[in-house]
Chain A
Amino acid sequence: MTPDLLTRGSETLDLSGEVCPYTFLRAKLRLEELPLGAALTVVVDHPPAAANVPRSLRAEGHEVVSVEQTGRACRIVVIKRAEHRLAKKE
């Protein structure tokens, strides 16, 4: 399935203006809310995030389907493949 088909009707998380570690943290928190197998498009515009966010998401067990650079913006399509929840303390 192409990234276009995967992401049709799916959610987009626009993290333009965000830098590390908030890019990864916010992507992770959003993925937590989605069911397994759901697609999420993450948009980042901080250049290091284009490489680092996909790598971190893969390391967390998710499937990164595509990373597409358009000008300064980078669109990362990820499929949730792991259940993971940041524990709330207290």
Chain B
Amino acid sequence: MGLELGVLLADDRRLAEAGEAIRSLAREPSGAALFLMDDGARAASAPLMMELLEAGVEVALCAADAEARGVLPVDGGPRFGSQYDHAVMVRDARRVVALTGDGHRDDHAPPAGAGRRVVRVRLTRDVRDGKTAQALRSAVGYAACDLDVVIAVEPPARAILDALAARSAVVSPGSGNLPQGSRLLQSSLLQLPEAVLRAVGTLRGLGHRIAPASDAPPGHLEVTW
């Protein structure tokens, strides 16, 4: 049978929407998986969560996010997992719904047999918004799980592109004024929180694409943050 539906929940206020998606899109609760991360981890012990678990939905959460929010394991509650579980869900589910906050709802069913999945992670917030770092951290998890990742950068997160452009100007052969380029690079890098910087460096190092959203190719599925 395989996994019919995977739901990513990164906002505990949208748990009811996640539950409704599972009820309406999965033939059986046991064919659905729910992954909680970021503020979604706060929903771990909600009554509806317990109902979903009792119905047979496989629920895991990001243990690091739970720890950061003081969420503790409860008997019969979600499994304390990792971004690996999230990535496997996105890799294997026939349909993926992502509820990351601010009303975004991504809902995609990649074509069967399309080969290696491409996940387009769209960044719509400022680089200093914690959700941008979370988006990129989850993207690193996707990359670790053999998914192809495209980071589509919307204008609010363009500091990422500025830093990449400055770096490119410094390392390109024949780049004119190196000291000036270095200062520009340093200034650009300082705009990025460490978690963002690290994730961007990791994704680039693994060869994944980071581009303005207007130029970034489509994926088999998209997750908007």
Contact = CB atoms under 8 A, between A and B. Distances in A.
Is B a genuine binding partner of A?
yes
B206 A21 contact: no
Interface string A71-90: 00000000000000011111
B146 A87 contact: yes
Interface string A45-68: 011110110011001000000000
Contact of B140 (A25, A51, A87): A25
A22 B141 CA distance: 8
Contacts of A36: none
Could you say which interface size class chain A belongs to? 20 to 34
B73 to A, nearest CB: 10
Most chain-B Cβ atoms within 10 A of its Cβ — which of A21, A51, A55, A90?
Answer: A21
A89 B209 contact: yes
B63 A86 contact: no
A46 B64 contact: yes
Interface in B154-175: none
B81 to A, nearest CB: 6
A20 interface: yes
B63 A48 contact: yes
A20 B206 contact: no
Given A25-B144, A25-B202, A20 B64 contact: yes
A9 to B, nearest CB: 28
B65 to A, nearest CB: 9
Contacts of B148: 89
Contact of B144 (A19, A55, A86): A86
Interface of B: 62-64, 67, 80-84, 87-88, 116, 137-138, 140-141, 143-144, 146, 148, 198, 202, 206-209
Contacts of A56: 82, 84
A48 B84 contact: no
A59 B88 contact: yes
8 contacts: A20-B82, A22-B140, A24-B82, A48-B67, A52-B81, A56-B82, A86-B146, A89-B208
Contacts of A55: 81, 84
Nearest to B142: A21
Contacts of B207: 87-90
Contacts of B83: 20-21, 24
B81 A21 contact: no
Given A25-B202, A90-B207, A20 B67 contact: no
Nearest to B195: A19
B93 to A, nearest CB: 16
A7 to B, nearest CB: 24
